[in-house]
């Protein structure tokens, strides 16, 4: 159980912690533009040293620095790793911000600024949990490691290389993942996994240059050929048509279905948010909930070819580009599926179509029965006074598999943010009360796991 002196320290220093979040969020670190990455990494290392952690700045050619730290616990040899990232999304559109995105400010108990929630607020909260333990108890109850990368918002493209090169550094008994939320009713969410993904750009060229559209009578059209390719990838029932795509997809166990049933989901409100009058195939709320957890997807993220400006331009485009993301569930092997897709398109007469791999990562999931997951669940109920929502898996994707598969580590997403915190959007924000309670939640989880 968290000592009352720890809780008092967090409450007494909450405004100072907010200033530390502002300090970090004031340093731009947009990985998409390689803006401020080195400066932010240096600041993160400095903040780690300020709480007494030993640090290393790990480097790989062409990659953003990975800032690593560790600090010894006082009670057990168990080790918890905090994974976070110090890079942020681009701040545009600027005109929708009520205050400058990289000049964070507090208004009515809420911090506003790019990265204050995703993920600098979460990162700082974990530093300050360790500080609070050091000041009130001589150190955290268990060993703590910190893994702070600078490319998460750009796909964590070098994280696997870092983990492979410095494998001994990342060994731990559990990992607290980057982000944790309370829902709009103030109920904490324990998220236990992510979907995998293959992100690919298809490039199809039919001509050496654009042609006058009158020549469509005799010359091949790249866009029309791409339409035919896309129709080979997925049918009208949303099923991916690549042979073997679903061979490894398993059914959810009965107890997992029961946990899923307890997860609140307002389908009407969800559809209203996105202006959708129905779910795919007319599925109901329970089916939609299950699909978000356990259904593979094949999504067209972008298409471009030819002329798309105002007015008309009669052109026969020489090429077309399509970006797609395929979300995967546990047991699906992304490399196996990639190879199957390439062979399938070759066999269908599209061997000339280029497949450019953007990213590839398998799904990862921790059982809700695992002692670390149970510690997070029990800690949430103690701190918030209500049962948490247990989310078996997020519909999103991240590099969680590097830790859960390579090291067989359990993982939970728990933290200080909120579903309505505006992450990746203008006026991103973090409530100070969520910061306080989220810190207590993580600390209580550490206590239970270290007992």
- Given this model, what pLDDT does residue 184 score? 86
Please name which of 191, 192, 188, 190 lies closest in space to residue 383, comparing C-alpha atoms.
Answer: 188
- Given this model, what pLDDT does residue 442 score? 98
Looking at the fold, whether 169 and 63 belong to one and the same domain comes out as: yes
Angle at 117 between CA 113 and CA 119, to 5 degrees: 110
Residue 403: inside a domain: yes
Query: pLDDT by residue (tens digit) across 101-152?
Result: 999 999 999 999 999 999 999 999 999 999 999 999 999 999 999 999 999 9
Q: Which residues of 214-230 are buried (b: 16+ CB within 10 A; e: fewer)?
A: eeeeeeebbbebbeebe
- Largest Cα–Cα distance in the chain? 80
- Asked if residue 397 lies in contact with residue 196, where contact means CB atoms within 8 angstroms, the answer is yes
Q: Which residue has the tokens 């699906």?
A: 332
- Asked if residue 278 lies in contact with residue 271, where contact means CB atoms within 8 angstroms, the answer is yes
Looking at the fold, whether 216 and 188 belong to one and the same domain comes out as: no
| Torsion angle of the four alpha carbons 390, 396, 402, 407, in this order, in degrees rounded to the nearest 10 | 10
Range of the domain at 325: 196-249+296-361
* Number of domains making up the chain: 2
Residue 405: inside a domain: yes
Rg value, the chain, Cα: 24
The residue among 335, 361, 387 that closes a domain is 361
- Given this model, what pLDDT does residue 393 score? 94
Straight-line distance from the first to the last Cα atom of the chain, in angstroms, rounded to the nearest whole number: 9
Q: Which residues of 249-267 are buried (b: 16+ CB within 10 A; e: fewer)?
A: eeeeeeebeebbeeeeeeb
Please name which of 137, 126, 97 lies closest in space to residue 114, comparing C-alpha atoms.
Answer: 97
Residue 268: inside a domain: no
CA 284 to chain centroid, in Å, comes to: 26
Looking at the fold, whether 89 and 126 belong to one and the same domain comes out as: yes
The residue among 361, 395, 417 that closes a domain is 361
Looking at the fold, whether 223 and 352 belong to one and the same domain comes out as: yes
Low-confidence ranges of the chain (pLDDT < 70): none
Cα separation, 28 vs 184, whole angstroms = 29
Cα separation, 21 vs 106, whole angstroms = 11
DSSP alpha helices (H): ranges in 295-405?
Answer: 334-347, 371-384, 401-404
Tokens of 228: 């035919």
Q: At what angle do helices 14-25 and 37-50 cross, to 10 degrees?
A: 150
Residue 390: inside a domain: yes
- Asked if residue 431 lies in contact with residue 109, where contact means CB atoms within 8 angstroms, the answer is yes
Cα separation, 112 vs 106, whole angstroms = 6
Output the domain CATH number for residue 356.
3.30.70.360
Residue 179 half-sphere exposure toward CB, CA atoms < 13 A: 23
The residue among 345, 361, 377 that closes a domain is 361
Residue 143 CB partners (closer than 8 Å, separation 6+): 70, 71, 72, 73, 76, 77, 78, 79, 80, 172
Looking at the fold, whether 83 and 154 belong to one and the same domain comes out as: yes
For the question of whether the overall pTM of this predicted structure is more than 0.75, the answer is: yes
Please name which of 420, 413, 421, 415 lies closest in space to residue 435, comparing C-alpha atoms.
Answer: 415
- Given this model, what pLDDT does residue 375 score? 98
- Given this model, what pLDDT does residue 405 score? 87
Residue 257: inside a domain: no
Residue 158: inside a domain: yes
Looking at the fold, whether 407 and 325 belong to one and the same domain comes out as: no
- Given this model, what pLDDT does residue 246 score? 98
Please name which of 415, 325, 422 lies closest in space to residue 89, comparing C-alpha atoms.
Answer: 422
CA 223 to chain centroid, in Å, comes to: 33
Please name which of 133, 95, 92, 91 lies closest in space to residue 116, comparing C-alpha atoms.
Answer: 91
Tokens of 303: 């298409």
- Given this model, what pLDDT does residue 285 score? 95
Residue 261: inside a domain: no
């Amino acid at each position: 159980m968290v000592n009352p002196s720890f809780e008092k320290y967090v409450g007494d220093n909450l405004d100072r912690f907010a200033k530390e979040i502002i300090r970090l969020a004031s340093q731009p670190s947009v990985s998409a533009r390689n803006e401020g990455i080195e400066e932010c990494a240096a600041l993160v290392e400095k903040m780690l040293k300020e709480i007494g952690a030993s640090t290393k700045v790990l480097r790989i050619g062409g990659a953003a620095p990975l800032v690593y730290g560790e600090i010894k616990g006082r009670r057990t040899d168990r080790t918890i790793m905090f994974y976070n990232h110090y890079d942020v999304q681009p701040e545009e559109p600027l005109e929708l911000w009520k205050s400058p995105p990289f000049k964070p400010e507090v208004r009515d108990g809420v911090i506003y600024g790019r990265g204050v929630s995703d993920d600098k607020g979460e990162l700082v909260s974990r530093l300050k949990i360790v500080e609070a333990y050091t000041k009130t108890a001589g150190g955290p109850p268990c060993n703590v490691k910190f893994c702070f990368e600078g490319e998460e918002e750009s796909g964590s493209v070098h994280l696997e290389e870092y983990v492979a090169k410095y494998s001994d550094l990342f060994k731990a008994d559990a990992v607290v993942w980057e982000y944790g939320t309370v829902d709009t009713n103030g109920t904490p969410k324990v998220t236990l996994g992510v979907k995998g993904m293959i992100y690919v750009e298809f490039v199809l060229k039919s001509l050496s240059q654009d042609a006058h559209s009158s020549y469509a009578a005799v010359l091949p059209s790249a866009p029309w050929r791409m339409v035919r390719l896309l129709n080979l990838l997925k049918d009208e029932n949303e099923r991916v048509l690549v042979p073997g795509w679903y061979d490894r997809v398993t059914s959810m166990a009965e107890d997992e279905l029961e946990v899923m049933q307890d997860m609140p989901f307002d389908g009407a409100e969800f559809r209203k948010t996105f202006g959708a009058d129905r779910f795919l195939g007319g599925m109901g709320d329970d089916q939609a909930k299950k699909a978000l957890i356990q259904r593979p997807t094949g999504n067209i993220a972008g298409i471009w070819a030819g002329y798309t400006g105002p007015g008309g331009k009669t052109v026969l485009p020489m090429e077309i580009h399509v970006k797609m993301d395929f979300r995967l569930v546990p047991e699906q092997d992304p490399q196996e599926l990639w190879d199957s897709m390439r062979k399938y398109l070759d066999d269908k007469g599209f061997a000339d179509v280029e497949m450019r791999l953007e990213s590839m990562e398998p799904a990862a999931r921790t059982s809700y029965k695992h002692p670390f997951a149970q510690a997070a669940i029990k800690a949430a109920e103690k701190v918030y006074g209500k049962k948490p929502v247990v989310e078996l898996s997020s519909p999103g994707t991240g590099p969680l598999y590097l830790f859960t598969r390579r090291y067989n580590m359990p993982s939970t997403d728990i933290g200080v943010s909120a579903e309505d915190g505006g992450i990746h959007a203008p006026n991103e924000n973090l409530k100070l009360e969520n910061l306080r309670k989220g810190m207590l939640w993580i600390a209580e989880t550490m206590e239970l796991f270290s007992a």
